[in-house]
């Protein structure tokens, strides 16, 4: 890995700055990947449920279905996450 390259030392404040910046950027990238995966999955699932026969215009019933589906999906995410956590503890 490029991480473990040469070993010329920086000063300790510089070191802290670099560490903090690198971690912040990496955490940001991971958070974006995480929310992207959630949005993609939710879109696929709710599209399939709410638009079995997609019509020429978006109706208010369509929008309502999408909104309700997304809320149910989040609730399901929480249940799956809790159930998985208790399963991992066993």
Partner 1 sequence: MSSADLRAISQLDEASRKDIAQWVENEMAQAKLRSTIHNFTEICFRKCVTSIGTQTLAKTEELCLQNCLNRFLDTNSAIVKLIQEQNK
Kindly identify the residues of this chain, within the stretch 28-87, that bind partner 1 according to CB under 8 A: 29-30, 33-34, 37-38, 41, 44-46, 48-50, 65, 67-69, 71-73, 75-77, 79-81, 83-84, 87
- Angle CA(46)–CA(49)–CA(51) in degrees, nearest 5? 95
Nearer to partner 1, 6 or 59 (CB): 6
SS3 helix, strand, coil % of the chain, rounded to 5? 80, 0, 20
Q: Distance between CA atoms of 70 and 76, rounded to whole angstroms?
A: 10
69 contacts 46 by C-beta, under 8 angstroms: yes
Site for partner 1, rule CB under 8 A: 2-10, 15, 18-19, 21-23, 25-27, 29-30, 33-34, 37-38, 41, 44-46, 48-50, 65, 67-69, 71-73, 75-77, 79-81, 83-84, 87
């Amino acid at each position: 890995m490029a991480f473990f390259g040469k070993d010329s030392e920086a000063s300790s404040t510089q070191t802290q700055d670099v560490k903090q910046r690198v971690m912040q950027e990496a955490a940001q990238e991971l958070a974006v990947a995480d929310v992207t995966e959630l949005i993609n999955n939710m879109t696929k699932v709710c599209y399939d449920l709410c638009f079995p026969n997609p019509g020429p215009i978006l109706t208010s019933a369509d929008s309502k279905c999408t909104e309700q589906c997304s809320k149910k999906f989040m609730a399901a995410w929480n249940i799956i996450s809790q159930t998985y956590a208790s399963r991992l503890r066993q």
